[in-house]
Amino acid sequence: MKNYILGILLTCISLSYAQEKDNQVKPNYQLASKFSPSKLRTMIFSTEVRPNWINYGDKFWYEYTTSSGKSWYLVNPKSREKSELFDRTEMAAKITSIVRNPFDAQHLTLDNLRFMDNENIIRFEVPSTKDTLKNKDEIKKLTNKKDTIKKKTFFFEYDLLSKELKEISDTTKEKAKPHWAIFNPDTSRVYYAKNYNLYWMDYANYKKAIQDEKDSTIVENQFTTDGVQYYAWGGDEYSITTGDKKSEDEEIKKRKPVRLNWSPNGKYFVLTRKDNRNNPALWVINNVGSKRPTLETYKYLMPGEVDSTEVELHLFDVTSLKPTQIPIYGFKNQTLSLWSKDRKKENLKGKHFINYWLGNDREFYIARSSRDLKRIDLLAIGVDGSTRTLVEERSNVYLDIQKPTFINNGNQFIHWSQRDGWGHFYLYDTGGELLTQITKGEFHCQELTSFDESTSTIYFKANGREKDIDPYYSNYYAINKNGSGLKLVTKGDYDHQVDVSESGTFIVDNFSRVDTTPASNLYNSSGQLIMKLEEADLTQLFAAGYRFPETFKVKAGDGITDLYGVLYKPYDFDSTKVYPIIEYVYPGPQTEAVNKSFGRSMDRIDRLAQIGFVVISVGNRGGHPARSEWYHTYGYGNLRDYGLEDKKVAAEQLAARHSFIDINKVGITGHSGGGFMSTAAMLVYPDFFKVAVSGAGNHENNIYNRWWSERHHGVQESITEKGDTTFNYQIQKNTELANNLKGKLLIVTGDIDNNVHPANSIRMAEALIKANKRFDFLLLPGQRHAFGDMTEYFFWKMADYFSEHLLGESKRDKVDIIEMNRDRPLKK
């Protein structure tokens, strides 16, 4: 009897083991390799219509690519007409006869297409394989003077009415405006920075500079003399020293743009200046960039550090070109936001946009923010140096601010505020009196796109007003300035990304979800459909096996707050198998890692699932600002742990719904803030999260940049009895919890990351070593924050890591990454 029972038990165990083995998933590297970024470029073509509004009017043209090639269209919204800009077959034949390179309608390439002032004439360029000599300007820039041959580019002009195509000289090509040239309102002068000081030149000399930047006959007029590095009038916003004095000297001598705003009458301009000389520096060493490793030095303020100087506001009278410093002090270590008018046709002088200040000839408008961002003032600054406070915003958590919109001939303005817990618009007069709250309710207003003076109608983007759809989906609305008549312009359960004509009369709406094919329609401002424009061609993508992901909604750790996410399955998904689950995370608070519309970037989420995982991305309290201010600022004061509980309970709820999810095999990964969060998850919930791949994480937010860290975590401002102000910053760090690690952790960083400094990852490694923990570390040489050309290598290292530790099998025993080598041409 005992033997009989033992036999039955052994049989059951054997059957259970066999069944478990049948349910196990094996890594599918081949499926993941089918959807590499380079291959996706041959399967996903245009996914949106980008209208090129012709001469700032309502007509527009656009370019759209499908698996049949590229097409160009002209749209006249008023007449409801859409037509091909030209006959592709005919154009290909004409170009072939001139260029002598064969083209056909399906493989036509036109670069830099643009309409001329005569709207019946277009110009464009076509590359060829014909050898030609480089011009004098190109030869001057050569280090190897013998390298004088290039492939010829042909320049064409085409008449849309006569259908005549003619080759034109490259001398007719419009020279690009130098990035450093800032025009005054009558365009008689351009202003710029050089040697950390301010200069101007007249238009005649500017024309010389367009032809040859180094023309020795150019007359330059310097009008400041005390600018130095890190206390400049302009030209050192991103100043980096490399230890190479020759190259640094050459960089200093280059003309650079300067951020100045003009009065409408052209009599004044204003700019800010800050003395950063005593602020601490930071360094990275580039070991692979040149023969000798180079040291890069740059200014970098970390949270809680002393900022010894204040930003200065200077007004220049163009008659004397002497600066007058305007007393603007309101808060210790304050930030000033100088606003300029939108780039509209009314601000165009000839072919040059003028950077007008936001205001009139008498005064301009700026924002003044305290260092802790709990106090923001909207100010009017007079040209006589006077200051008026128009609006005061106050909060116990950090505040956001948007540029106001002035209407009614500048006598009123629309101000955006979260004072009632949601982002809404408020109407003020220029005396600072609140006239009315324009929008209200439990939804979040985003950008105000336009205002129709004739009808007093405001047009804006907003989230969360429409019930029973994802609150992150953006929609477009119209409302009267008195708050009446709110109307939804873009209809449908989609994320709507709109592009509006300057008149505000017509809207191109690009709409999709993660589980729909992107489409584009044209509407008028009343929401009436003018015409359907395009639907993306995804036939090649689906033919390769692609499947849309699935959206879901779960509850946060409080059991109340709704969280929205996306679930990605392998395209060869088998419902009888059980899959490990991996969370792709980015905690925000300025955004979340959850895709809301269809996109072509699939390398870190969709493609990871193809290895053999269920991959999810889901929001968390303290995330995206498109919801309430409560939701957005939930993590204030707890920037390490605030989102972790929500990530954990989201996975648990999904596993309870779906039997194919193995809740005992949970991985987590992310980049930057997601790298920080994935490591924190392993240390705060070490028995839940089993494997993490952490990319470029800010593991010690006390050494991350001051702006982000103090803003979202908070900084304590203290004022002594003597009136001295200090700032105290305390934050929990991943390194403090190193002893908690139980699972498998891979830390990855680029060695010249000047955003999240490599010290974050190195200090995390040090803490783990001191805690006697086994972990893995990958340094990517010569890579900055985004990993650059080693992104693909990083993906396969991540695939190996999760495969080995969640699936029990990987290709780490193979030296070559075959999936990368297979598509790479062999070079001898």
What are the chain's domains? 52-172 (no CATH), 180-256 (no CATH), 541-821 (3.40.50.1820)
Q: Are 31 and 572 in contact (CB under 8 A)?
A: yes
Phi-psi label, residue 641: left if phi above 0, alpha if psi -120 to 50, beta otherwise = alpha
Closest CA to 471 of 619, 685, 645: 619
CA distances from 620 to 635, 639, 640, 644, 650 (A): 10, 12, 13, 8, 9
Residue range 475-479: average pLDDT?
97
- 597 Cβ partners below 8 Å, 6+ apart? 494, 495, 497, 511, 512, 513, 514, 518
Residue range 775-780: average pLDDT?
98
- What tokens appear for 767 in the block? 């803490």
Q: What is the CA radius of gyration of the chain?
A: 30
Q: What are phi and psi of 640, to 5 degrees?
A: -90, -45
pLDDT, tens digit, for every residue of 425-455?
A: 999 999 999 999 999 999 999 999 999 999 9
pLDDT, tens digit, for every residue of 716-740?
A: 998 888 888 899 999 999 999 999 9
- What tokens appear for 570 in the block? 């392998």
Q: Residue 3: what pLDDT?
A: 64
* Pairwise pLDDT comparison (130 vs 666), residue with the higher score: 666
Residue range 661-684: average pLDDT?
97
CA angle at 283 for the pair 280 and 285, rounded to the nearest 5°:
170
- What tokens appear for 688 in the block? 């839940």
Which region among 240-244, 267-271, 578-582 has the lowest average model confidence (pLDDT)?
240-244
- The rounded distance, in Å, linking the Cα atoms of 318 and 267 is 6
Give the torsion sign (CA, 648, 653, 656, 657). negative
pLDDT, tens digit, for every residue of 359-375?
A: 999 999 999 999 999 99
Q: Are 734 and 640 in contact (CB under 8 A)?
A: yes
pLDDT, tens digit, for every residue of 389-426?
A: 999 999 999 999 999 999 999 999 999 999 999 999 99
Burial-class residue 326 by CB neighbours within 10 Å (0-12, 13-18, 19+).
Answer: middle
Query: What is the separation, in whole angstroms, between the first and last Cα of the chain?
Result: 73
- The rounded distance, in Å, linking the Cα atoms of 598 and 462 is 19
Residue 11 in this model has a pLDDT that exceeds 60 = no
- 15 Cβ partners below 8 Å, 6+ apart? none
- What tokens appear for 669 in the block? 């990964």
Give the torsion sign (CA, 673, 675, 677, 683). negative
Residue 464 in this model has a pLDDT that exceeds 70 = yes
Q: Residue 27: what pLDDT?
A: 96
Q: Are 608 and 599 in contact (CB under 8 A)?
A: no
pLDDT band at 174 (very low <50, low <70, confident <90, very high): low
- The rounded distance, in Å, linking the Cα atoms of 731 and 140 is 54
Q: DSSP code of 291? A: S
CA distances from 414 to 6, 217, 339, 424 (A): 81, 49, 14, 10
Closest CA to 369 of 405, 396, 332, 404: 332
Residue range 775-802: average pLDDT?
97
Closest CA to 205 of 222, 192, 186, 220: 220
pLDDT band at 322 (very low <50, low <70, confident <90, very high): very high
- The rounded distance, in Å, linking the Cα atoms of 307 and 278 is 8
- What tokens appear for 805 in the block? 């530790």
Q: Residue 15: what pLDDT?
A: 47
H or E stretch including 629? helix 629-632
Q: Are 804 and 611 in contact (CB under 8 A)?
A: no
- 29 Cβ partners below 8 Å, 6+ apart? 611, 799, 811, 818, 819
CA angle at 510 for the pair 507 and 512, rounded to the nearest 5°:
145
Q: What are phi and psi of 55, to 5 degrees?
A: 50, 40
- 805 Cβ partners below 8 Å, 6+ apart? 667, 690, 691, 743, 744
Q: Residue 421: what pLDDT?
A: 96
Residue 141 in this model has a pLDDT that exceeds 70 = no
- The rounded distance, in Å, linking the Cα atoms of 562 and 620 is 9
- What tokens appear for 783 in the block? 């890579």
Q: DSSP code of 365? A: E
Give the 3-state secondary structure of residue 137.
helix
Per DSSP (E only), the strands in 621-711 are: 661-671, 691-695
The distance of Cα 551 from the centroid of its chain, to the nearest Å, equals 23
Q: Are 503 and 481 in contact (CB under 8 A)?
A: no
* Pairwise pLDDT comparison (172 vs 297), residue with the higher score: 297
Give the torsion sign (CA, 178, 181, 182, 188). negative
Which region among 205-214, 508-517, 554-563 has the lowest average model confidence (pLDDT)?
205-214
Residue 17 in this model has a pLDDT that exceeds 80 = no
Residue range 584-602: average pLDDT?
87
H or E stretch including 750? strand 744-750
Residue 718 pairs with which residues in a beta bridge?
726
Amino acid at 148: T
pLDDT, tens digit, for every residue of 81-111?
A: 999 999 999 999 999 999 999 999 999 999 9
H or E stretch including 5? helix 2-23
- The rounded distance, in Å, linking the Cα atoms of 63 and 314 is 44
Q: At what angle do helices 673-684 and 644-657 cross, to 10 degrees?
A: 70
Mean pLDDT of the chain: 93
Q: Residue 137: what pLDDT?
A: 63
Residue 435's Cβ-side half-sphere holds a number of Cα atoms within 13 Å equal to: 15
- The rounded distance, in Å, linking the Cα atoms of 278 and 266 is 35
- 89 Cβ partners below 8 Å, 6+ apart? 104, 105
Residue 135 in this model has a pLDDT that exceeds 90 = no
pLDDT, tens digit, for every residue of 518-528?
A: 999 999 999 99
- The rounded distance, in Å, linking the Cα atoms of 271 and 261 is 7
This prediction has a pTM of 0.93
Buried b (16+ CB within 10 A) or exposed e, 686-714: eebbbbbbbbbbbbbbbbbbbebbbbbbb
Give the 3-state secondary structure of residue 522.
strand
Give the torsion sign (CA, 208, 213, 215, 217). positive
Residue 333 in this model has a pLDDT that exceeds 50 = yes
Residue 811 in this model has a pLDDT that exceeds 90 = no
Instruction: Report the percent of the chain where pLDDT is more than 70.
Output: 94
- What tokens appear for 377 in the block? 């003032």
- The rounded distance, in Å, linking the Cα atoms of 93 and 52 is 26
